[in-house]
Structures are given as C-alpha cells and as structure tokens.
Chain A
Amino acid sequence: MSVPTRPGGTAPPLPPLPLPRSPGGGGRQGRSPKKKRVNESISTWRLTDRIGYVLMWAAGLLLCAIGIGILAYMAFKGVQYLRPQLVLTSPTADVDQSASGGFLDPLLGTILITLIGIVIATPIAIGAATWIVEYGRPTWLARLIDSGIEIIAGTPDIVIALFGLVLFQQGIFGWMSFTAAGGAVFGRSFLTAGAMMSLIALPMVFAATREGLQSIPIHIREASYALGKTKAATIRRVLLPSVKANISTGAALGMGRIAGDTAIIVVLLGASLTLDPEGDVPGLNVLKGTGSTLTSYVYNNSPAGEGNAPQKAYAAAFVLLLIVLALNFAVDLIARSGAKTGLETSRLGAR
C-alpha cells in the first residue's frame, strides 16, 4: 500500500469527508421549548432506507391484517354455519347436503388419531432426547440421530404417508389393519395412520425435551450422583420430572400438528366417512378400522373434494381451528407455568 506508515506527528490533515449534517441539527429547539425529545428523524435517511422502512411497516401491518382477517373470517363463517346437530350427528353419504349429516365421526377420528400419534411419539422422542443429552456416546451416532430427526422434520407429510402405506402393507403388520382373505394387507387404519402421525409430532417433542434437558445445569446431575443415585435413577427421578413442562409443550405442539395434518389421513385412513370398525375385538376393532378426521372432512367437502358442501367444510374447519388454537393456548399456559423453552422455533419443530 502506498500510504506511509504512522508519520512523526506532522500528518497533512485530511479534508473532512463530506458527511451530511442533518439540516435541523440544533435548529429545532425553538419549536418545542421543553421536554420534547427528538428521536430518529427518518428525513435524514437515505431514500432507499426510507422506502425500506415504509415497506417494513407495510409488511408488519399486512401480516397483522392477514392473521386477524383469517381468524375473523373463520370465526364468522363458523358461527354462521356451525349448529349443534352438526357436531352431534354422524355423516352419511347423501347427495342432498341437508341430509348428509354432521361430523361427529370425523371429530372423534381427529381426537383418536391425535392420541394415537402422540402416545407413540412421546416415549420415542423423550428416549431419543434423553439419550442424546445424557449419554450421547459415540458422538457421531448422536450427531447422526440429531440430523436424522431434522430430516424427519423436513420430510413432506405426503412422503411419510406413502411410506406408511408400503410399510404397513407388509405381512407382519397385518394385525394393524384389514387383511383380505388372500393375505393382502390393506394398510389403512387408525393404527397405521397414527403410527405415521407420530413421525410428524416426534421432532417437536424431541426438540422441546432436548432443550429442557440441556438447560438443566450440570451441578444438579452431580448433586444427584453425589447422593448415590445411579444415572438411570437420576434421569427418571430428577431430570425428566424437571422437564415435564417442556415435554408437555412439545406434546401439545405435536398434537396440534397431528390434528391439522391432512395428507397422511387421505392416504392412510381410508376414505370411509364414519368410524368403520374392523374385526371383533372391542376397542382394537376401531383402531384397526378406517374412518375420517376433521381435516379430511374439510378437504372432501371443499370444492376440491367429492362432497362439495362449503358450509359444512367451514363449520368443520372452524371446529378444527378451535382445537388447534386450544392446543397452542395450552402451550402458552404451560410456558407461563415455567417451561424452560423460550425459543420460538421449538414451537415449529424447526431447529
């Protein structure tokens, strides 16, 4: 570089770089004599910055408008079309919309599938998170599992659904769904759909649990070991109870995702409108059978589906929205009661 190194003290002074002084710098005190603090004035900004600033406000307000608009519109349509008998009667296949019944069975289906999914997902997610945080050896395996869960979180639900179909049509899973006389397995039932739904919820429960465990200071574990407890006992008696709130948060979020998923239902739950039990064992027969959920009901009753009954679709969508919002509200309640998760992203299962 041609610039001389530090001169002995006689540096030729550089001309001041033309910096714009704001026009009102100091000239403003006459306007407001007392206690009017001048904050940033946009007028001194570059033009591009000012345009960006306006766009930012527009984006923020548009976001608010879209969110409130969707909620208000769904609430309006829901109140308009939701009738008690819709929730209390089973759907029937009928061309006449006034006679095609309500969505009691889809509602029950949503609850059932959500429970199955979360019951399968939670233990696996807790186990995996606990293993990664508390054991985590060998490291490469822990890292592999970590990224594996990230991959599952990023896998489209429709791919998971097709995977479920081919998996559960294998003979050894015949007990999970209807098996034809020839041994061909149907592969579609509440059990199979719920099992695949657990993959949707798994990353969220996993992320929340792991975050909770990681935020427990080491000295708590050491205190437990110092009392003579084994690692297993420490995990069961000390660590897991203290992340209960995190687990609940993750589970509630996962349930929200399950309740709102459609693709797996359309592919894996069969297309029967009502709960369609399969087999003779009470309880298991419903699980082995096919049915529908609110999401597939909405889909089928939208103009894109076969039913095309927008009013019922709106009513069912409203109920669905209430369920999902209730689950999210539960998350807030849990968080307020002291879950250690503050991360927005863990709410989305996206880390």
Chain B
Amino acid sequence: MIDPHEKTSRPARTTDEPANGMMPPPIRRITLDSQPTVALPPSQDAVAIANTGDRSLAAAGRPTRGVAGPERMTISDLSVYYGDNHAVKHVSLPIRQGEVLALIGPSGCGKTTLLRTLNRLTELTGTARREGLITLDGTDIDSLEVTEHRRRVSMVFQQPNPFPMSVFDNVAYALREQGAKRPKKKVLEPYVVDALQRAGLYDEVSSNLDHPALRLSGGQQQRLCIARALAARPEVLLMDEPCSALDPKSTNVIEELIVELRKELAIVIVTHNLQQAYRVGDHVAFMYLGDLVEYGPTDDLFDNPKAARTRDYIGGAFG
C-alpha cells in the first residue's frame, strides 16, 4: 500500500510559501515593465496531451476552457472568523455551471476555509463564525437544511479519505445513507459502476470491488473519493487540493478527470500548484491573507495580472 502522506508533489510550493502567513510571499523579483508571460514548459503540455489524448489541447497549445453556464452559487461579502482570526475577508465570487473555478494563493490565505464554508463544514468548528451571504441557485444556503445542502454541494478533500470498507461500499455509501431506506445492492450496482467509470477508476478496480478501499494506491483512493462524491450526483463539487498528496501521474489523471467533469458540474478547486490552476481552471481567483486579490478568466489572469501581488505571486512561481 502506498502511503499518501509521504508523497508530496508540489512543485510551485518550494519557493513562495510564507511560513506564517504574516510575511509577504517570498518573491523572486521580476522587472515590472516587461509583462510576465506564462511559460509552461512545453514538455509538460506534451506529456499531458500524450497521456490524455486530448487533441484540443494541442490545437491551441493551451487547454481549452469550458463554456460558462448559469451561475449556480454566489458568494457575496463573505467573512469567516476563527475566534479573533479573520480568515476570509469580504470575498465575493460567482461559481458557474460548466466551468472550473480555481482558487490559488499561498498557504494560510483562506482558500480552504472559503471552500469548507461553501459546504458548511466550517460550522463543525466551534470557534468559527461567518458573515456575508452565500446562495445556491438564489437561495441563501443558511436556509437550506445542512445535510440537504451538502448533498448538492459535495466535497473532495486534500488527503484521500476512503472509508474503511470495500470499494463498492465506499461508492455506494452516499446512496445508501442519504435515502429514506437502504437500496438493495442489485439496485445500487449500476450507479456505483457509473460513478467509478466517470471517475476513471472502473477499469482498475472492476475485478475487486469487494476489496478494502484502503488497499488502493493514493491516486486510486483519491479517484475513489471523487467517484464517491459523484455517485451522489452533486450539483457543485468542491475539491481541496485534490492532488497535493499524489504523485505526478495520478495528478495528471485527476486533472483530466476534472476537465471532463466540468461539463456536468460546477467545480471549485483549491490548489497550490499554479500550473494545475492554469491547466484546469476556467476562472482563477487569487487569495492572499484572506483577501481576494484578483479574479478573472484564467488566461487573462495569468497573462495580464492586474494586481501587483498577483503578478509577483505568479512571477515568483514561474520565474
């Protein structure tokens, strides 16, 4: 069994992580007069294309962007406090159907808190307090029953967290436990298979659906967690650094999956990895110390960052 804890593949992380959130991010200075250009190493793109077989990637030399659909969730003037710590400061963002919103920023900048707030998981922390409005299809999420809300807005975590049961039971978990009564295994089977197929895991596990999920490799575990979330048919999928505990190959598979999934879902992904944000994000929001510094279409934000801090952060990571 591969221990996911021992693996970290965060290339962007090495240089620009402030230790305690109070310091400005360590920045490799770039000259301000020359526009920073995003320079993805072509080899990486080639690898991605080779692995995915996605011709559209090759056509433009950069990933295609999703077609933005209607706005599903709206965050307006959201603030989250942990005790006295103002973790998220007056953030407003739209989350649209059919596209991927990537949240980037140094660690401790409130990305994960923001994500957990969308799922109302921050309420599990006793000291957490929230101000501002989050709506789902125009309804204040506070007025939705919390379980019902989480059913529609599901989440995948940083560490793969498959339950200690079989692969099948993991995927069937939400279907079994959400309903008024537990469906039979026969009824569940097509749904489980469908979810595993959508997560691109079915071919690998089809012969051993009864094996314990904890025996899968880290990448498989994470895809299982995605399948588990997909099985419940959520409308919005939140992903909290889904690849940070995985090796590059699994990362690639999951990124491909995200691009695939955005056709049917609204996806919010938190990532440390700017290249990942560039590859999968349709819109990118850069957060820094709880502030939303900049939000815009991915290509715009990476090619023409408006705020100096964004420029520095992106430049630092790439230069």
Whether A and B touch directly in their complex, counting CB atoms under 8 A apart, is answered as yes
Q: Kindly identify which residue among B123, B142, B151, B194 contacts A14, using a CB–CB cutoff of 8 Å.
A: B194
Given A5-B203, A25-B148, verify A11-B197 contact (CB < 8 Å): yes
Of the candidate stretches B100-108, B178-186, B291-299, the one touching chain A is: B178-186
**Cβ of B143 under 8 Å from chain A:** yes
**Cβ of B3 under 8 Å from chain A:** no
Which chain B residues lie closer than 8 Å to A17 at the CB level? Answer: 175, 179, 183, 187, 191
* A159: min CB distance to chain B, Å: 38
**Cβ of A228 under 8 Å from chain B:** no
**Cβ of B145 under 8 Å from chain A:** yes
Measured CA separation A14–B196 after assembly (Å): 14
Measured CA separation A17–B151 after assembly (Å): 13
Do the beta carbons of B144 and A38 come within 8 Å of each other?
yes
Measured CA separation A17–B123 after assembly (Å): 29
* A291: min CB distance to chain B, Å: 52
Bits for A126-159, please: 1 = Cβ < 8 Å to B, else 0: 0000000000000000000000000000000000
* A202: min CB distance to chain B, Å: 35
- From residue 230 to 259 of chain B, which have CB atoms closer than 8 A to chain A? 232-233
Measured CA separation A29–B233 after assembly (Å): 24
Name A39's closest neighbour in chain B (CB-CB).
B146
Do the beta carbons of B143 and A16 come within 8 Å of each other?
no
Which chain B residues lie closer than 8 Å to A14 at the CB level? Answer: 190-191, 194
**Cβ of B200 under 8 Å from chain A:** yes
Which chain A residues lie closer than 8 Å to B179 at the CB level? Answer: 17-20
Of the candidate stretches A40-48, A183-191, A266-274, A294-302, the one touching chain B is: A40-48
Measured CA separation A202–B255 after assembly (Å): 57
Do the beta carbons of A6 and B203 come within 8 Å of each other?
yes
Name A47's closest neighbour in chain B (CB-CB).
B180
Measured CA separation A5–B204 after assembly (Å): 10
Do the beta carbons of A40 and B145 come within 8 Å of each other?
yes
Measured CA separation A38–B194 after assembly (Å): 33
Do the beta carbons of A3 and B189 come within 8 Å of each other?
yes
Do the beta carbons of B147 and A26 come within 8 Å of each other?
no
**Cβ of A7 under 8 Å from chain B:** yes
- From residue 15 to 38 of chain A, which have CB atoms closer than 8 A to chain B? 16-22, 24-26, 28-29, 32, 35-38
Do the beta carbons of A29 and B181 come within 8 Å of each other?
no
Do the beta carbons of A19 and B194 come within 8 Å of each other?
no
Bits for B163-183, please: 1 = Cβ < 8 Å to A, else 0: 000000000000100111101
Interface of B is mostly: helix
Q: Kindly identify which residue among A7, A32, A37, A39 contacts B197, using a CB–CB cutoff of 8 Å.
A: A7
Do the beta carbons of A38 and B143 come within 8 Å of each other?
yes
Which chain A residues lie closer than 8 Å to B71 at the CB level? Answer: none
Measured CA separation A6–B193 after assembly (Å): 9
Size band of the interface chain A makes with B? 20 to 34
**Cβ of A281 under 8 Å from chain B:** no
**Cβ of A1 under 8 Å from chain B:** yes
Q: Kindly identify which residue among A11, A16, A37, A46 contacts B233, using a CB–CB cutoff of 8 Å.
A: A16
Do the beta carbons of B140 and A29 come within 8 Å of each other?
yes
Measured CA separation A14–B190 after assembly (Å): 8
Measured CA separation A70–B203 after assembly (Å): 62
Which chain A residues lie closer than 8 Å to B206 at the CB level? Answer: 1, 5
Measured CA separation A38–B150 after assembly (Å): 13
Which chain B residues lie closer than 8 Å to A7 at the CB level? Answer: 197
Which chain B residues lie closer than 8 Å to A39 at the CB level? Answer: 123, 146
**Cβ of B139 under 8 Å from chain A:** yes
Do the beta carbons of A3 and B193 come within 8 Å of each other?
yes
Q: Kindly identify which residue among A6, A22, A32 contacts B145, using a CB–CB cutoff of 8 Å.
A: A22
Name A28's closest neighbour in chain B (CB-CB).
B143
Given A3-B193, A38-B143, A40-B146, verify A46-B180 contact (CB < 8 Å): yes
Given A3-B190, A6-B200, verify A44-B147 contact (CB < 8 Å): yes
Given A3-B189, A6-B203, verify A19-B145 contact (CB < 8 Å): no
Which chain A residues lie closer than 8 Å to B190 at the CB level? Answer: 3, 14
Which chain A residues lie closer than 8 Å to B181 at the CB level? Answer: 46
* Besides the known contacts A6-B200, A11-B194, A44-B148, 20 further A-B residue pairs in the complex with CB atoms under 8 A apart: A1-B193, A1-B206, A3-B189, A3-B190, A5-B197, A5-B202, A6-B203, A14-B190, A19-B151, A20-B178, A20-B179, A21-B148, A22-B145, A24-B145, A25-B144, A26-B143, A32-B143, A36-B143, A37-B123, A46-B181
Show the binding face of A for B, using Cβ within 8 Å.
Answer: 1, 3, 5-7, 11, 14, 16-22, 24-26, 28-29, 32, 35-41, 44, 46
| Leading 8 A-B pairs by shortest Cβ distance | A29-B143, A3-B193, A26-B139, A37-B142, A6-B197, A22-B148, A22-B145, A41-B145
Show the binding face of B for A, using Cβ within 8 Å.
Answer: 123, 139-140, 142-148, 151, 175, 178-181, 183, 187, 189-191, 193-194, 197, 200, 202-203, 206, 232-233
9 contacts between A and B (CB under 8 A): A5-B197, A14-B190, A17-B179, A19-B179, A22-B147, A22-B148, A29-B143, A37-B123, A40-B147
